[in-house]
Amino acid sequence: MPDSLTREAPRSGAGSGTYDAVIIGAGFSGMYQLHLLRDRLGLSVRVLEQGGGVGGTWYWNRYPGARCDSESHSYCFTFSPELYREWEWTERYPGQPEIMRYMNWVADRLDLKRDIAFDTRVTGARYDEASNRWQVATEAGETLTATWLITAVGCLSTANVPKIPGLEDFKGRWYHTGQWPHEGVDFTGQRVGQVGTGSTGIQAVPVIAAAAKHLTVFQRTANYSVPARNGPLDAEFKDWVRQNYEAIRTTTQSTPNGHPFVIADRSTWDVTEEERRALYEAAWEKGGLQFRATFRDLLQDKAANDTAAEFLKAKIRSIVKDPATAAKLADIDHPYAAKRPPIDTDYFEAFNRDNVALVDVRANPIERITPDGIQLRDGTEHKLDIIVFATGFDAMTGPLLRLNITGRDGLALKEAWAAGPRTYLGLQAVGFPNLFTITGPGSPSVLCNMPVCIEQHAEWIADCIAALREKGVARMEPEPAAVDRWVEHVNEAANATLLPQAGHSWYLGANVPGKPRVFMPYAGGMARYREICNEVAAKGYEGFVLNK
Ligand code: NA7
């Protein structure tokens, strides 16, 4: 991808100034929120973006094999039929460069870039009670003030580089997948070590293996994966997408996870074992996240889930030729889809290559990084030229807490959330008036196809601001009791599923040492969540304190 596509911004800085709204972040969320507030409501808006272009998480995640796991015809804006029909995706799942082209195209079509300050890092945001305004500080020393502050910082944008002793002495090069160099990395002739086998690691392994001299994969937790079955889209499918815009949008808005497929209305136990196997085989052949939708009870009933888990483990053993490697890859300790289920292109097949080795660092943990590679607890040293950390993110709360937000009475968001995030609807927190968090903790966010939940949040926020302005309301924040009830409901929704059973998942914050263990996303389903939000608005923003 030519770099010019991502660096078209004016370089004039944010410019101190007074706005109706400041938005932090120019990914899907920030772009759409800017469009709604500026073009529909006529507000003065400034977007502050740390990256050199639009794209959010996709601006940074340029690692080998980076591709979205949502199908392309659902991983896009759907608010405008014209925009939706005009863009033509080329593959079943969009790769990172194509997503960047799409986002730049949307930003240009909606003329968004003129109101976005790129290369602008926010260093703090403080609510000033006397003026009822937010003061947002940038690294360049500018201060912007606004009535409304909206974070559009994404859920997976704070890279988690594990604190392994010795990294600073490593003589080779090392990278985190979420902060990948724009110029790419040449693996030719290199001995590469990759730490991490989440969705990212599983995408990267086959691509790095094909380019490197040797790849050692350090696996702490074995993971399920279903083939993505990616490929080019034919003209017939592209026509079908254009003709079925309304139906696709209706489906994505009415399913619990925002994807363009419907969860089968049958229990695992409604069919015979033979029929079940045939259904799993068909889902495996079809590929993708839809595997999860084979039965309606896979995420609620552990015994039902076991049938899917056993099917997938057997697939791993049948693909991977070396029995010891296959056993390590299939030694999975959590229910299927209790952690975010990856999909892949030739992940397990990559372990049949002569230049790929798997190391189990659950049994024999990484002890330190030496100048020459990675040393395990038993003293074994793996000599490496490059280390790739596919080690994930300080998810959901990380990107918000690093903004250094201070609300009423000098309350820091870090203190308010010291024991874990507490929000009403994932949209607002007590003590932080007029601050909205798009896809914040307590909303479906990462359990949903992101553009679907982003559109819902951005529209709800825009409608809310319009309604408050009409009523002359100057200040909005949730009632503490409403937050208590919502937090309880978020916990109930999670506990009604198998999701909390993956004790080491980033949904729980368990991947970051010292982070409070709280199940962060709302697991009650996007469709239900949308209804709740609409009802709250219809009742005059029930649960919020509104002051003139
Ligand atoms: P994930 O899903 O958090 O995966 C990170 C991986 O890195 C996972 O296998 C971790 O093992 C492993 N990890 C993390 N720290 C270490 C250390 N210190 N040692 C060894 N292994 C480690 O991040 P991804 O980027 O793959 O995916 C994030 C989301 O992006 C994904 O779910 C999609 O929504 C898109 P663990 O499981 O913690 O034992």
The residue to mutate among 176, 199, 225, 339, having the most atoms of ligand 1 within 8 angstroms of its beta carbon, is 199
Q: Cα separation of 317 and 411, whole Å? A: 53
Q: How many angstroms does the Cα of residue 520 sit away from the middle of ligand 1?
A: 16
Average pLDDT of span 309-324:
98
Tell me if 345 sits within 8 A of 95, measured CB to CB: no
Q: How many angstroms does the Cα of residue 197 sit away from the middle of ligand 1?
A: 6
Query: Ligand 1: which atom is nearest the Cα of residue 178?
Result: 25
Q: Which of 379, 330, 329 is nearest to 358 (CA)?
A: 329
Average pLDDT of span 441-467:
97
Position 546 scores a pLDDT of 98
What are the pocket residues of ligand 1 if the criterion is a CB atom closer than 6 Å to any ligand atom? 156, 162, 195-201, 218, 220-221, 340, 361, 366, 390-393, 446, 504, 506, 511
Neighbours of 239 (CB within 10 A): 10
The residue to mutate among 175, 200, 257, 388, having the most atoms of ligand 1 within 8 angstroms of its beta carbon, is 200
Position 134 scores a pLDDT of 98
Q: How many angstroms does the Cα of residue 343 sit away from the middle of ligand 1?
A: 14
Q: Cα separation of 309 and 283, whole Å? A: 13
Least confidently predicted of 101-110, 263-272, 400-409, 513-522: 513-522
Position 4 scores a pLDDT of 36
pLDDT in tens, 24-50: 999 999 999 999 999 999 999 999 999
| Cβ neighbourhood burial of 463 (10 Å; 0-12, 13-18, 19+) | middle
Q: How many angstroms does the Cα of residue 511 sit away from the middle of ligand 1?
A: 7
Q: CATH code for 167-389?
A: 3.50.50.60
What are the backbone angles phi and psi of residue 293, rounded to the nearest 5°? -90, 10
Position 476 scores a pLDDT of 98
pLDDT in tens, 85-103: 999 999 999 999 999 999 9
Q: Residue 112 CA to chain centroid, in angstroms?
A: 23
Q: Cα separation of 381 and 284, whole Å? A: 38
pLDDT band at residue 5 under the 50/70/90 scheme: very low
pLDDT in tens, 153-188: 999 888 999 999 999 999 999 999 999 999 999 999
Q: How many angstroms does the Cα of residue 320 sit away from the middle of ligand 1?
A: 22
What amino acid occupies position 111? Answer: D
Tell me if 497 sits within 8 A of 491, measured CB to CB: no
What are the backbone angles phi and psi of residue 170, rounded to the nearest 5°? -60, 130
The residue to mutate among 96, 220, 368, having the most atoms of ligand 1 within 8 angstroms of its beta carbon, is 220
Q: Cα separation of 223 and 400, whole Å? A: 28
Query: Ligand 1: which atom is nearest the Cα of residue 223?
Result: 9
What are the backbone angles phi and psi of residue 275, rounded to the nearest 5°? -65, -40
Q: Cα separation of 396 and 1, whole Å? A: 29
Query: Ligand 1: which atom is nearest the Cα of residue 361?
Result: 20
Q: How many angstroms does the Cα of residue 506 sit away from the middle of ligand 1?
A: 8
Q: How many angstroms does the Cα of residue 160 sit away from the middle of ligand 1?
A: 9
Superfamily of domain 11-159+395-547: FAD/NAD(P)-binding domain (3.50.50.60)
Domain with CATH 3.50.50.60 in the chain: 11-159+395-547, 167-389
Residue nearest atom 20 of ligand 1, based on CA coordinates: 220
Share of residues in the chain with pLDDT > 70 (%): 98
Query: Ligand 1: which atom is nearest the Cα of residue 389?
Result: 7
Q: Sign of the C-alpha dihedral, residues 181, 187, 193, 196?
A: positive
Position 15 scores a pLDDT of 80
Residue nearest atom 14 of ligand 1, based on CA coordinates: 391
This prediction has a pTM of 0.95
The residue to mutate among 180, 197, 205, 391, having the most atoms of ligand 1 within 8 angstroms of its beta carbon, is 391
Q: How many angstroms does the Cα of residue 273 sit away from the middle of ligand 1?
A: 33
Q: Is the pLDDT of residue 6 over 70?
A: no
Tell me if 457 sits within 8 A of 438, measured CB to CB: yes
Tokens standing for residue 377: 């607890």
Position 503 scores a pLDDT of 78
Position 90 scores a pLDDT of 98
Average pLDDT of span 44-57:
97
Q: Is the pLDDT of residue 1 over 80?
A: no
pLDDT in tens, 455-473: 999 999 999 999 999 999 9
Mean per-residue pLDDT of the chain: 95
Q: Which of 488, 510, 509, 495 is nearest to 442 (CA)?
A: 488
Q: How many angstroms does the Cα of residue 167 sit away from the middle of ligand 1?
A: 18
Q: Which of 446, 448, 396 is nearest to 422 (CA)?
A: 396
Q: Is the pLDDT of residue 388 over 90?
A: yes
Position 504 scores a pLDDT of 81
Least confidently predicted of 43-57, 97-111, 327-341, 497-511: 497-511
Position 102 scores a pLDDT of 98
pLDDT in tens, 263-312: 999 999 999 999 999 999 999 999 999 999 999 999 999 999 999 999 99
Q: How many angstroms does the Cα of residue 225 sit away from the middle of ligand 1?
A: 14
Share of residues in the chain with pLDDT > 90 (%): 93
Q: Cα separation of 127 and 431, whole Å? A: 9
Q: How many angstroms does the Cα of residue 505 sit away from the middle of ligand 1?
A: 8
Query: Ligand 1: which atom is nearest the Cα of residue 164?
Result: 18
Cα-based distances in Å from 548 to 77, 442, 469 = 34, 27, 10
Residue nearest atom 3 of ligand 1, based on CA coordinates: 392
